[in-house]
Every structure is written in structure tokens, then in C-alpha cells.
Amino acid sequence: MAIPKIMGILNVTPDSFSDGGQFDSTASACSQAEALVVSGADIIDIGGESTRPFAKPVTVREELNRVIPAISAIRSAFSIPLSIDTTKAEVARQALAAGANIINDISALRKDPAMLPLVQETSVPVIMMHMQGTPGDMQVNPQYDDVIDDIITFFKERLAWLQENGVALHRITLDPGIGFGKSLNHNLSILKHLAAFKALGCPLLLGHSRKGFIGDITGLQVEDRDLPTAVVSALSCAAKVDIIRVHNVAATYQALQMTTAIQDAE
């Protein structure tokens, strides 16, 4: 069984829910990038705007000031693929010019009308996430008729729209959006039924690292949630998740090593 790729999270923000303020200088970002590479990351996801619940948006200029120096410095030091975590087309455009290889848009190309033309004129992979609402209001009583069916319907509509606009679906990775407009039970249902999203024919990304639902179940503070994060990562292998996005790459790498070794045994 193939080991899923591990996407290491690098937030160059002052206010992200887990590591805000830890890597918001170019030097600290480069140091963390090196640690992620050494730990076994296959991709580094760089974000300059917090998308935690109730986060306030930042301007294009501020986001560029955060991410571009980090991307440029990391690209000069490492050949690892870099993704830019943004909903802003101009940030994505400049990030690609600075050395990023992937666009990771939590709005599924809905927030900025200029994102579609950018995707059309490039050939880079694109990650599209499901989110109910916005970071500012998404955790205010999220409701679904059927969370799995509703997300699948959303993805089918987005994929059809991309095809209508000439974007090849082999470029698209889907992210069901754990914690983005989801209750505890919604998140657990998504994790239980990950294989349903694979049926859409696109690679699947899982981003559950240190999120609130883990605290709801375990009572652990954010900084203590790496063990249950790794457990969820291991369990997701059964659904053939393609990319796992985490803060602690080493813990997830070890969990995936053990899981795949057991599954591959005779």
C-alpha cells in the first residue's frame, strides 16, 4: 500500500489557532521548513492569513508581505513542492512566481473571481476545500441535510464548473474541510466516510491536524493534540487518502509507516 503524501503546515501568521506567531519571520519560517523536510514532509503548505474560526481577514498587501519572503527563501534552500494557502488570486500569482507549485484555496475558487483565470492560464495543481460560510461565521451552528451527500453535491458542482471552464480535472485535489463549518458529529461522519469522496475520482486531502473536534473528544489543549492527530492520520489510510496535512510531520510519518507495514503484511 502506498503511503499518503504528508503536507507540512507552515503558517507565517501572528494568529493561526495552533502555531500563530511562531514562524512569522523569514528566518523562523526557513528553520521550520527544514524541520518539516527532515521529518519526512512531501509538500510544505505556506499560509499568510489565519482561517481559524472567527479570524479576521487581512489585506492582499499584508498577506503578500508575509508569504512571499518565506516562499522565496524556502525555494532557494529546498526543492520540495510548496503550496500557497490563499483565497486571493494576486497572492497565488505572486507566490507561484516566487517558487510555489500548488494553489490551495479553502474557498474552492469562489471568493476571488480572478482565481479562475489564474488557474486557467497555469498548469499547477489546485486544492479545493468545502467550507460552509466563512472563517468569520462558519462555526455558528453549521447545519446540513446530510453532511456527506451535501459535500459530495458541492464537489460535483464545482468539478462540473471547472470542466465547463476548460480546467482539467486531473489537476484537482478535494478537501472535505474538517472544522470548516462543521460540528463535532459532522467531522466524525466525514472521517468515517472518507472513501465516499474518493468515488469522485480526484485525489483527496485530509486536514484534521490539532483541530477543535480532537479537543472536544479528548479534552486536550491544541499543543497536546499530535498523538490523536496521528491516530486519525493512520486510520485514514484505509480510505486511501492521498495527502494528509499536519503540523507534526514526524508523528504522522511514523504512524503511516506502521499502518502501511501492517496492511502490507501477508
Query: Which residues belong to the active site?
Result: 211, 245
Is the CA virtual torsion 237, 84, 181, 214 positive or negative?
positive
Place of cell 489564474: 118
> Burial of 187 by CB count in 10 Å (0-12 exposed, 13-18 middle, 19+ buried)?
buried
Which residues, in sequence order, are bridge partners of residue 11? 47
Which residues, in sequence order, are bridge partners of residue 244? 6, 206
Q: Nine-digit cell at 263?
A: 496492511
Q: Nine-digit cell at 181?
A: 463549518
